[in-house]
Amino acid sequence: MSFPCIPVASPLHDAASLEAATGAFHRALQSIGGAPAPDPVPAAADTPFWFVLTGGVEGEVLRRIDAWRAAGGRGPVLVVAHPGHNSLPASIEILARVRQLGGEGRLHLLRAPDDAGTLSAIARTAKALDANRRLAGERIGQIGAPSDWLVASSHDAATVRRRFGAELVPVTLDEVRTLMRQEQATPPTPSELAPWRGATSRDGVSESAYAQAVALHRALKAVVAKYALSAITVRCFDWVRQDGTTGCLALALLADSGISAGCEGDIPSILALRWLWHLTGRPAWMANPAALDPATGDLRLAHCTIPLGLVGSYAFKTHFESGLGLGIDGTLPRGPVTLLRLGGADLGECWCAEGELLADTHDDGQCRTQALVRIPSDALDLLLSRPLGNHLVLAPGHHRALLTEAFSLLDARA
């Protein structure tokens, strides 16, 4: 990805000597996505990085920041300094004034053109800001109210908008049900049968149950298109009780197609799923913490749906609690993972831990997809002593530094 990077230098400095001193820094920033931008920076652009080449530009940088703000720009003030030409003291002065005015900012000191640590930090900040900006412009479908048992995970639209900038769009279960019943008259197409053929087994799941799950997937796709949604969270157990079907397959297929999809109407979890999509470019898995061992840091996760693109293989079984419909028993690959939970009354808290996925299990006494993850014991202690809610979200890979940066930057969006 690219991000605006705007050099600012005093006219007192000789252009040739300045290029000789700073050209390699320019090229280093370009190598991680730094790109020129017009002055003033358009409000629709990503938050700019101001590359302070020399001293004496404090007022000029502040003038440009004011122009960007006046055009509607939002976000923290991001400054890049280098060791020469009084760049660092000028950058410190700029951010000091920004803080005096109640603003937020970041200062990255690029110690040398090959300063890989700082270049990585700049790229991480740019990526975090881009993910936050994308999430803030999205519409998330809330299909039915949160499940009755999610007493800590049912935040309202105003809280979501205030914290993340995203819009919750209410959709009734009856609207989806009507569409689903219309779709049931049409059997699955050959392409829709691909997941059925790809399952290693189909224990207790009939072809008619699969066809009903496909009809629900079609109905949800229609709702996504009608309301221009990028994510949905559904009160899925009502379909189990009233229609004898489950949303497990539909949510998995939507997630694989780039529409983040969560269960039980859980608001923090669908925000985490969509946020991780923008931060990592991959779907993530929402699951219950089914068992844990504080002494070892072992945590067992389980749920009846998972994006098929995350698993190496999968089987179809009935839904765990009800024995109805279709659930997915997927096998996740071993390796590094990151766990995330958002919460708090104003969604202002974030629990995040990196760990290793050690094994998959297939215990009949738990939800169908199961994974054993080992995380640091102190992270597990915090999960127990300061819980933010039931579900956790798992993403392949280690992303704690990126998530921490993105969460900290939410407060600097104004």
Question: Do 164 and 304 have their domain in common?
Answer: yes
Question: Do 41 and 152 have their domain in common?
Answer: no
The pLDDT tens digits for 255-286 are 999 999 999 999 999 999 999 999 999 999 99
CB 269 within 8 A of CB 360: no
Question: Do 189 and 332 have their domain in common?
Answer: yes
Question: Do 88 and 198 have their domain in common?
Answer: no
Residue 275 makes CB contacts below 8 A (sequence gap 6+) with 131, 135, 164, 406
Q: Which amino acid, one-letter code, is at 330? A: G
The DSSP output letter for 45 is S
Please say if the pLDDT value at position 37 is more than 60. yes
How would residue 412 be classed by pLDDT, with cut points 50, 70 and 90?
low
> Do the strands 285-293 and 392-396 form a parallel or antiparallel pair, or are they unpaired?
antiparallel
Question: Do 216 and 99 have their domain in common?
Answer: no
Question: Do 150 and 60 have their domain in common?
Answer: no
- In the prediction, which pLDDT does 414 show? 47
The pLDDT tens digits for 355-385 are 999 999 888 878 889 999 999 999 999 999 9
Mean pLDDT of 396-408: 96
User: Which CATH number fits the domain that encloses residue 158?
Assistant: 3.20.14
CB 52 within 8 A of CB 79: yes
Question: Do 177 and 263 have their domain in common?
Answer: yes
Closest to 168 in 3D by CA, of 85, 227, 254: 227
Q: Compute the distance between CA of residue 319 and CA of residue 108 in angstroms, rounded to an integer.
A: 50
Q: Which structural domain, as residue segments, surrounds residue 283?
A: 139-412
Please say if the pLDDT value at position 349 is more than 50. yes
CB count in 10 Å sphere of residue 414: 10
Question: Do 168 and 244 have their domain in common?
Answer: yes
Tell me which of 79, 105, 136 is where a domain ends. 136
Phi, psi for residue 353 in degrees, rounded to 5: -145, 140
The pLDDT tens digits for 43-98 are 666 889 999 999 999 999 999 999 988 888 888 999 999 999 999 999 999 999 99
Question: Do 308 and 354 have their domain in common?
Answer: yes
CB count in 10 Å sphere of residue 14: 9
Question: Do 124 and 272 have their domain in common?
Answer: no
